[in-house]
Structure 1
Amino acid sequence: MQRSALTRHLVQKHAINLVALIFLIPSVTDIYAAPKPNVIVIYADDLGYGDLACFGHPTIKTPALDQMAAEGMKFTQFYSAAPVCTPSRAALLTGRYPIRSGMCSDKRRVLFPDSGGGIPANEVTLAEALKTAGYKTACVGKWHLGHLPQFLPTSNGFDSYFGIPYSNDMDRSANHKLGRKIFLKPEVKFWNIPLMRDTEVVEQPADQTTITKRYTEEAIKLIQQNKRQPFFIYLAHSMPHVPLFRSPEFQDKSRRGLYGDVIEEIDWSVGQVLDELKTQGLEQNTIVWFCSDNGPWLIFNEQGGSAGLLRDGKGSTWEGGMREPTIAWWPGHIPSGSVSQELGSTMDIYTTSINLAGGTVPTDRVVDGVDLTSVLLNEENSPREEMVYYRGTKLMALRKGPWKAHFITKPAYGREPFQEHDPPVLYHLEHDPSEKYNVAQDHPDVIKELKMAAEQHQKTVKPVPSQLEIPLPN
């Protein structure tokens, strides 16, 4: 029987993996015996694949992130598990596709101030898993997994919280007749967004002109306070989600305008965190991840980012909506200046971090995250072979190896209907990352395999109520 192109690719990949494993097991074993590494996840909001200098932007300067990449590993094929905020954050913190936790919907894409739902209590968050392993845990920044007390970070494994409970464009107080015009010259008073410490509102409206700076100061304080014990910090920036704000020091600093100013302040923030780790002598015992929740919000034109050569942006299951600029940094462990073209996902941050901490990945449920330790430490092939692309509860596409089949397509925003494809639209993403050339008619064997993979995945999904459709109690 003749093997398909996809099967040949995977057989060759795993033959290489097996040889590598035989010779490189000692280094992986050594790392598990080492002191528990601190974990920091820095998560941007609506950052595009092409928005960083180290990912190709020509006029936004990101020296700290460039250095982070030079000292660590850059991932070129790393994905969020959803193209919008709430489900992507649920996936990051649970290691599971949001369809499994009810943190997605076809009616309401994200949680709002009038939502009554949030992350279910039976989900095991990354903070809960690391706390059980002896870590101090802190959440700084945007949460967006439920704003009622039972859904806040301090009810889901985090010892402390400082940030906003949902997106910075919610709780709008400006005249709605102005539409998107208020984003052209945003003012703090246009949004009544609350800034919280633990469960209390400490400022409303939050002064968004200083919010990136204050998140950074909070993260540095947490590093200083917890330097003698293992810690986990989830630093989730509110930016560059519109409305765009930056500190006075970054006003008109970038050639890319307001959006560039915002990205350059985030870059400064990353530099402050990495510098503090070095000052405290913690750099070789701290793994730092940098990523984004979804792609750029293209409908905001110059106030939205760029997906580079990738197609479409936030809200879509084309590559620009879900492939994210990702860097992992761990001096002395991750090879400096390495670039991984292997498949990875934000869900893998969950599994990898728990395993590095000596914790326990839940075994009583499906966990979609895989362990990327061997990729990070030894530049091996990734154990991730597939990526499933959801828009709400709809399985839109599936990637396996280099191949991606779209079963349903729809642009990110607009009135165009969902379009079902039979046969599916097929792209070879390593040859055609821009998804321009449909090669379905040339590879019926690959189409068959990807259809089967989608069917097998769907058999593992058990329906649960949508948390995004629960109204706020009276």
Structure 2
Amino acid sequence: MIFSKQIKPFWHLILLGTVLFISCKTNKTNKHQTNITKPNILIIHIDDLGYHDLSFTGSKIYQTPNVDRLAMESVRFTNAYANYPRCVPSRFAMLTAGYPIKDGDVPDDGFEMTEIPDSQNYVKQIHNTGYQTAYFGKWHLGNDPRDFGFDFSMAAGHAGSPISYIYPFNTPKHKGINKKAPIKDLDTIGKKGDYLTDVLTNQVIKYIKNRDQKKPFMTMLAFYAVHQPLEAKGEDIIPNENEIKAFNFGNQPEYILEGTGRTKMRQDNATYAAMVENMDENVGKLLQTLKDEGIADNTIIIFSSDHGGLSNDGTKQRELATSNHPLRAGKGWLYEGGVKVPLLVKWKNHFQPREENQSIVMLMDIFPTLSDIISGKKLTTDGQSFFSILKNQDHWADRTVFWHSSKARPVNTGDTKSSAIRHGNYKLINWYEEGRTELYNIANDPSETHNLINESPKLTNDLLTKLNNWKAKF
């Protein structure tokens, strides 16, 4: 069942409950069902989607009934993090299962996937266990995902964002100089009236329907949405304009000052709302396809985002997409708004749907987990398998994880150079060039408003020492 994007919260909850009740009572076998025992894998990765950009995580503006339904059928991680608050290093970390370190630093760009040895390449490892592998959408890590071991790729290359979401996709719709790389393949698969997110979804559906049914598949769809440019279908924008106009934001300010710029505090961009809801509709199409093909029960579905939503500007003011409130700041920052991401993992009859609010996991853990599930093999990476957590046999409440952001963008997103560590409930951020440090208890203070350095000097010193020792290993 694919939900329309304009279902409002009350009816949304009723329909969600109805769907879950029906799904528990029916178990139809489709004629396409195969005898494959290894699970298929579908990874849905969204670009720039904030943790609170989904209605099940608290958005009152964006209606996401299909992702919400998936969430209620999944293990929902509330302490999941990107390895970096921007696109390229975050994606590199996820795909290579390690911290995004290169030549003694964490660069914003310049990663070469061809340099990853097979001993650290989970994509090749999964392929070697008999999987057909495919990658669709945003790559931004070189020329082609096939260079990293995927069998097939579509619309994936150097481009970090579309020139346009509206066909013709590689033709600018606005005045000014275009410096973006075109997205390959789109000229052959698009036509007048097409919207890019729809086109990519349809290509994945086509691939799934035409797959080799004798082999399991691992398919990753990395939407370019909901990254800028902010472009949506006109018929999707108008209802959101009306809804936002009628919404009472109360005393919530539109912006507050943060760093060298502003933080957006309201989810009041109708075009962005339409983009989120279109993404949700397409997730619904994918879930329906799995059901139609009779493979929904034996497909692991992973839904995530590469970092927080675009909520901050810097010395140069610009249009901002969303608000991550009550999380602090957003894309580019090491506050929770920049690195906390939604993470859903579903495998029916294997993982009990629930909220996992104890364990600290990162995107770099995803491929070690998949490899562990299908083969039990572990490679030499910083990422760890959370298979035992999915089975509710273990929890990582005291895990220690790190971030380093030396390529700050005070002009565009308002952040300055910083590093961070989270150990258990505590998170320390160090602006090392400014000599400034902040410490927060994330469990008690997810908005990161109460700095504890004066109250907990020993803990501050211990965490700062651990952080600097990690950085010294680069």
Query: TM-score of the superposition, structure 1-length normalised?
Result: 0.74
Q: Distance in 1 between matches of 2:129 and 2:469?
A: 33
Match runs of 1:98-247 below 5 Å: 98-100=100-102, 104-105=106-107, 109-110=108-109, 118-123=112-117, 124-147=120-143, 152-165=144-157, 166-168=159-161, 193-197=181-185, 202=187, 210-226=195-211, 227-247=213-233
Tell whether the 8 Å contact from 2:230 to 2:321 is kept in structure 1 after alignment: no
> In structure 2, what residue type is equivalent to 1:119?
M
Question: How far does the alpha carbon of each residue in 1:6-43 deviate from its partner, in whole angstroms, 9 at most, with x for none?
Answer: xxxxxxxxxxxxxxxxxxxxxxxxxxxx9322222111
Aligned residue in 1 for 2:21: none
- 3-state DSSP class of the match of 1:99? coil
Point out which structure has higher relative CO (alpha carbons under 8 A, 6+ apart): 1
Aligned residue in 1 for 2:343: 326
Tell whether the 8 Å contact from 2:135 to 2:154 is kept in structure 1 after alignment: yes
Tell whether the 8 Å contact from 1:140 to 1:236 is kept in structure 2 after alignment: yes
Q: Does 1:94 find its partner at 2:96?
A: yes
Aligned residue in 2 for 1:23: none
Offset at residue 169 of structure 1 (A): 5.3
Among 364, 370, 377, the residue aligned to 1:353: 370
Match runs of 1:295-314 below 5 Å: 295-298=308-311, 299=313, 303-314=320-331
Higher-helix-fraction structure:
1
Q: Report how many residues are paired.
A: 389
> In structure 2, what residue type is equivalent to 1:142?
K
Q: Does 1:401 find its partner at 2:394?
A: no
> In structure 1, what residue type is equivalent to 2:322?
G
- Bigger Cα displacement from structure 2, 293-302 vs 77-86: 293-302
Q: Distance in 2 between matches of 1:248 and 1:401?
A: 45
Tell whether the 8 Å contact from 2:84 to 2:404 is kept in structure 1 after alignment: yes
Offset at residue 311 of structure 1 (A): 0.8
Aligned residue in 2 for 1:264: 277
Tell whether the 8 Å contact from 1:244 to 1:303 is kept in structure 2 after alignment: no
Offset at residue 118 of structure 1 (A): 2.8
Q: Distance in 1 between matches of 2:359 and 2:95?
A: 22
Can you give the 5+ residue segments of structure 1 that lack an aligned partner in the other structure? Answer: 1-33, 112-116, 172-182, 410-417, 462-474
Q: Distance in 2 between matches of 1:207 and 1:353?
A: 39
Aligned residue in 2 for 1:290: 303
Q: Distance in 2 between matches of 1:191 and 1:386?
A: 39
Aligned residue in 1 for 2:392: 378
Tell whether the 8 Å contact from 2:74 to 2:344 is kept in structure 1 after alignment: yes
Offset at residue 341 of structure 1 (A): 3.8
The change in CA–CA distance for 1:131 and 1:267 in structure 2 (over 3 A counts) is same
Q: Distance in 2 between matches of 1:153 and 1:335?
A: 33
Q: Distance in 1 between matches of 2:65 and 2:43?
A: 19
Offset at residue 139 of structure 1 (A): 0.6
Q: Distance in 2 between matches of 1:440 and 1:342?
A: 24
Q: Distance in 2 between matches of 1:156 and 1:388?
A: 25
Tell whether the 8 Å contact from 1:36 to 1:358 is kept in structure 2 after alignment: no
Q: Distance in 1 between matches of 2:386 and 2:406?
A: 27
Query: TM-score of the superposition, structure 2-length normalised?
Result: 0.74
Offset at residue 391 of structure 1 (A): 0.7
Q: Distance in 1 between matches of 2:325 and 2:76?
A: 16
> In structure 1, what residue type is equivalent to 2:115?
A
- Root-mean-square deviation (CA), in Å? 3.1
The change in CA–CA distance for 1:453 and 1:459 in structure 2 (over 3 A counts) is same
Q: Distance in 1 between matches of 2:210 and 2:83?
A: 33
Question: How far does the alpha carbon of each residue in 1:315-368 deviate from its partner, in whole angstroms, 9 at most, with x for none?
Answer: 1111111111222122212212434342111011021011112063323xxx11
Q: Does 1:433 find its partner at 2:446?
A: yes
Among 61, 74, 77, the residue aligned to 1:75: 77
Aligned residue in 2 for 1:471: none
- Bigger Cα displacement from structure 2, 321-330 vs 77-86: 321-330
Question: How far does the alpha carbon of each residue in 1:142-190 deviate from its partner, in whole angstroms, 9 at most, with x for none?
Answer: 100013xxxx11111111111142222569xxxxxxxxxxx9x859996
- 3-state DSSP class of the match of 2:361? strand
- 3-state DSSP class of the match of 1:154? helix
Q: Distance in 2 between matches of 1:266 and 1:94?
A: 26
Identity, in percent, stands at 30
Offset at residue 140 of structure 1 (A): 0.5
Tell whether the 8 Å contact from 2:297 to 2:348 is kept in structure 1 after alignment: yes
Can you give the 5+ residue segments of structure 2 that lack an aligned partner in the other structure? Answer: 1-35, 165-171, 244-268, 408-416
Among 359, 383, 390, the residue aligned to 1:342: 359
Offset at residue 442 of structure 1 (A): 2.0
> In structure 2, what residue type is equivalent to 1:419?
E
Q: Distance in 2 between matches of 1:273 and 1:125?
A: 27
> In structure 2, what residue type is equivalent to 1:122?
I
> In structure 2, what residue type is equivalent to 1:296?
G
Offset at residue 449 of structure 1 (A): 2.9
Q: Distance in 1 between matches of 2:73 and 2:295?
A: 15
Tell whether the 8 Å contact from 1:188 to 1:205 is kept in structure 2 after alignment: no
> In structure 1, what residue type is equivalent to 2:361?
G
Tell whether the 8 Å contact from 2:334 to 2:418 is kept in structure 1 after alignment: no
Tell whether the 8 Å contact from 1:129 to 1:359 is kept in structure 2 after alignment: no
> In structure 1, what residue type is equivalent to 2:205?
I
Q: Distance in 1 between matches of 2:342 and 2:467?
A: 26
Tell whether the 8 Å contact from 1:82 to 1:389 is kept in structure 2 after alignment: yes
- Bigger Cα displacement from structure 2, 213-222 vs 449-458: 449-458
Aligned residue in 2 for 1:412: none
Tell whether the 8 Å contact from 2:225 to 2:275 is kept in structure 1 after alignment: yes
Q: Distance in 1 between matches of 2:293 and 2:207?
A: 12
- Bigger Cα displacement from structure 2, 397-406 vs 203-212: 203-212
The change in CA–CA distance for 1:263 and 1:191 in structure 2 (over 3 A counts) is farther
- 3-state DSSP class of the match of 1:419? coil
Tell whether the 8 Å contact from 1:195 to 1:206 is kept in structure 2 after alignment: no
